[in-house]
Amino acid sequence: MVRRRKSSPAEDLVDLIAMLPWWVGCVLAVVLYLLLHRIATQQVITNVAPGQIAPAMIQSIWRTLASFGQYLVPLLCLVGVAVSAYRRWRRQNLVAGLVGSKAADALDGMSWQEFERLVGEAFRLQGYQVTETGGGGADGGIDLVLRKGGEKYLVQCKQWKAFSVGMAVVRELYGVMAAKGATGGFVVTSGRFTDEAKAFASGRNVKLIDGPLLHSLIKQVTADHGVGAKAAGTQEVPFPAKAVTPPSCPVCTKPMVQRTAKRGNQTGNTFWGCSGYPACRGTRQIG
């Protein structure tokens, strides 16, 4: 991943709004305009007492800033809305292009940015809330953060055409998951995984999605959402997006919920825990 250049506050605001749904950006633009307009039109204090000089100067500065900001800030919000809509359109085009392609190497022709956007859209179609982090930095190379049903999942995307993803990448993700308390994680590549990577992920809450499986997944979820036709023999994919009926607690018979071990030898592994915890500590293994 390339290191992001330093950005201005205006660019940061546009990027922040672009990550939100378009209608949220529109609402923020209206609210901020009304708030700043109210400050800009406040009555000026003409007769200033000796002890009120400082407050009067502060009020004058705020009025001046608000006079410009009442137009500039909402405009930046609307630019963010436009960027959000454009990114959404671009992601949908990537998905539509992949679904309509019959080429086996359709993923290989993408840049890493396009590949990340494609993967993010695949998860959105599965019902996840997706945050694009851009990888790099202090987040352990995480490219996407997913949230669904109060649970957090981490994703690493590897647009590697020439060689397979090895165990080191999967182990790195697993370590970041434990550090950040994530329920699960995904490593997604346009290529393949080594046998060592598959062995390490086996039995852990890390899902490996290679190029053919990703292609199959996208065709499946787009068919479920009425985009295109589902191909015959589409492979079922190991995404925890489908609802699972929780078992009953073996101790008190209450419904159980999926939990992630935070300590001990099973750190990072998921299990069924009683919904009555801590009053009841009943557990079951998943699977």
Q: 202-231 pLDDT, tens per residue?
A: 888 899 998 888 888 887 777 665 544 333
Least confident of 164-168, 185-189, 193-197, 248-252: 248-252
What is the β-pairing status of strands 184-189 and 151-158? parallel
Section 254-270 average pLDDT? 70
Residues 283 and 287: their CA atoms lie apart, in Å, by 13
Residue type at 106?
A
CA 120 to chain centroid: 7
Q: Which two tokens stand for residue 19?
A: 């990550």
Three-state DSSP at 250 gives: coil
Q: Which two tokens stand for residue 285?
A: 């293994």
Least confident of 46-50, 58-62, 94-98, 214-218: 46-50
Section 110-118 average pLDDT? 83
Other beta carbons less than 10 A from residue 130's beta carbon? 21
- In eight-state DSSP terms, residue 139 is G
Work out the mean pLDDT of the chain and round it to a whole number.
78
Residues 232 and 59: their CA atoms lie apart, in Å, by 68
- Would you state the pLDDT for residue 228? 42
| DSSP, residue by residue, 69-121 | HHHHHHHHHHHHHHHHHHHHHHHHHHHHHHHH---TTGGGGS-HHHHHHHHHH
Section 259-276 average pLDDT? 72
Residues 61 and 142: their CA atoms lie apart, in Å, by 42
Section 261-287 average pLDDT? 75
Residues 114 and 118: their CA atoms lie apart, in Å, by 6
Indicate whether 157 pLDDT > 70.
yes
- Would you state the pLDDT for residue 264? 66
pTM over 0.75, yes/no: no
- Would you state the pLDDT for residue 55? 73
Assign 100 a pLDDT band (cuts: 50, 70, 90): low
Q: 146-156 pLDDT, tens per residue?
A: 998 889 999 99
